[in-house]
Structure 1
């Protein structure tokens, strides 16, 4: 097990070291669960109050908090404890599982597929006709990549994921377990006689940019025509639905259980909270935030924060909630 001194860690974070501990640190941990060989994190006044009762020998602390280290304990003050935490987690991050063979004997790779240098293809994978895999692509066991799909360099796809035909995936992406890319969009219309439904063919594809991460059991549907597009650097949580013909700008975030109906457009840097829903043909402009559990029925302006169901400007919705509570209290 790798251990570090408090000075080793501060050399990485380049923060302000207050106090000292001679305890070797072998991992990060939450305040309440930490032992004396752990470093922890304090990002708000709420957690600062718990420091005195924590067993951790060290903590990374936002520099606007007033916290004392204590005996044989140390603090590293930084501008943003969350970003510092990311660096420490990377420091202690164990290696990912290794695939021993370049192509497992049970994998099926079509003779027309093109594999870049250093590709790894795990057990029971399927790589279809005219698929192109870039350098260093890793397909963990039980991944399917269907015909004419292109996947960029150093993208990692975890088990159970299916990438349907004609999709384009950028480089350095991560798809976690059981992701669905390019399934049919949900297109059905009542038949002329009113006695059934007619399926609308979905003949487009999905285009995913570089450095995109998609969480487990999330779905990105192919377009009815043209493309469903996920911009560079987007981060998508588990159990997220992105419907046909949606277009996401760069560096958007979608939290778990959120969803975009068909033909939604997100600008750059949009944040969608957990369980939020966006109505079809709606535009959420760059820098906007949609609060958790909200239902967006109309366009959202750049930089605006909306809350509620139906979603409204955050301050207006908060005033309504306060008024409702007062009414309920008085009646």
Structure 2
């Protein structure tokens, strides 16, 4: 059975070049040392670059056979003799910078067809596609759609009537976009659904009346949306996602939700209708946020939490219901002590 490699090994580069890319200082090693690839710290072969940022792998760092290691000041003395040391403030960020240089093809999904509009795609004559747009086989582009240059619409994606998509975007395989305005450099991964009805019903004993959802979805520049995430359009105003926000797989974003700039939302989070996330909010996986609450700027919510009330800017919250983490930890410790006391009586 063949063992294909989807991202080819990069050309060798000097340690000095790596240091420049990583904004790192060479504190041990020759700047002319050649680095031929990257690897996990435990699997590194001679010539490989590794990074260290997690103490869970400290024993593996001591055994690494790598040529060089990106490492913070706290752990630089743990790097074995014979391994070059690149001292950096944030090893993981430095690692990301280096990988982007060595593997540029992994930064943006590549089109299968290479260029142009597939003869097996359906593009309405009224659609406006700038030069350099790629539309793959099976994709459908509706009436009065605008798509900017450099954007790739992957196989079987559907872009509904009137949608506007900026430049250098990727609309993933089997995704759908409707009632939406999308900025530049937005990456939509496979299976994402954007702009469908929000969940709105006037409930009553005689049945549930559907409330028409007449808003839009506005997605600003440099947003990334993970596979099988759903973004409902607004009910009576717009659902909005701010620039630079990164959304993981299988996230549900309800109608009228407003997400600020540079937020991070991890997989399986549910954002109920009309909640607001201010800039730089981070939410851990499988957390639920009740409708009409506001999570303040820079707040962090632990995974598997339930947010029922507003969270102040900079707050660190967790639990069910979510509360300040110090209080949450105290409560968990008290419950644990009670449980231990019960087992000894």
Q: Same fold (TM over 0.5)?
A: yes
- Of 126, 135, 144, 2:149 maps to 135
C-alpha separation between the residues in 2 aligned to 1:254 and 1:68? 34
- Of 170, 175, 178, 2:188 maps to 175
**Is 2:55 the partner of 1:41?**
no
* TM-score in terms of structure 1 length: 0.94
- Of 4, 12, 17, 1:3 maps to 12
The secondary structure found in structure 2 opposite 1:53 is coil
C-alpha separation between the residues in 2 aligned to 1:157 and 1:143? 7
- Of 137, 146, 164, 1:123 maps to 137
- Which residue is 1:187 aligned to? 200
- Which residue is 2:38 aligned to? 28
- Which residue is 1:81 aligned to? 91
The secondary structure found in structure 1 opposite 2:20 is helix
1:242 touches 1:261 (CA, 8 Å); kept in 2? Answer: yes
2:288 touches 2:305 (CA, 8 Å); kept in 1? Answer: yes
Which shows bigger deviation, 235-244 or 52-61? 52-61
**Is 2:271 the partner of 1:257?**
no
C-alpha separation between the residues in 2 aligned to 1:138 and 1:20? 43
Consecutive unaligned residues in structure 1, runs of 5 or more:
none
C-alpha separation between the residues in 2 aligned to 1:284 and 1:24? 47
C-alpha separation between the residues in 1 aligned to 2:22 and 2:279? 29
Query: Which structure 2 residues correspond to residues 59-70 of structure 1 after superposition, within 5 A?
Result: 59-70=69-80
- Which residue is 1:222 aligned to? 233
1:44 touches 1:62 (CA, 8 Å); kept in 2? Answer: no
Q: Deviations over 1:103-154 (max 9, x none)?
A: 0001111011011121111111111000011121111111110000100111
Instruction: Give the number of aligned pairs.
Output: 328
C-alpha separation between the residues in 2 aligned to 1:68 and 1:304? 34
2:183 touches 2:219 (CA, 8 Å); kept in 1? Answer: yes
Shift of 1:71: 4.1
RMSD of the TM alignment (CA)?
1.7
C-alpha separation between the residues in 1 aligned to 2:241 and 2:80? 48
Consecutive unaligned residues in structure 2, runs of 5 or more:
1-8
C-alpha separation between the residues in 1 aligned to 2:311 and 2:114? 49
C-alpha separation between the residues in 2 aligned to 1:115 and 1:19? 52
Shift of 1:64: 2.5
The secondary structure found in structure 2 opposite 1:207 is strand
**Is 2:340 the partner of 1:329?**
yes
Shift of 1:221: 0.4
1:19 touches 1:69 (CA, 8 Å); kept in 2? Answer: no
C-alpha separation between the residues in 1 aligned to 2:341 and 2:273? 43
2:65 touches 2:83 (CA, 8 Å); kept in 1? Answer: no
Shift of 1:66: 4.0
Q: Flag the 1:190–1:45 CA change in 2: closer, same or farther, 3 A.
A: closer
Shift of 1:6: 2.1
2:76 touches 2:85 (CA, 8 Å); kept in 1? Answer: no
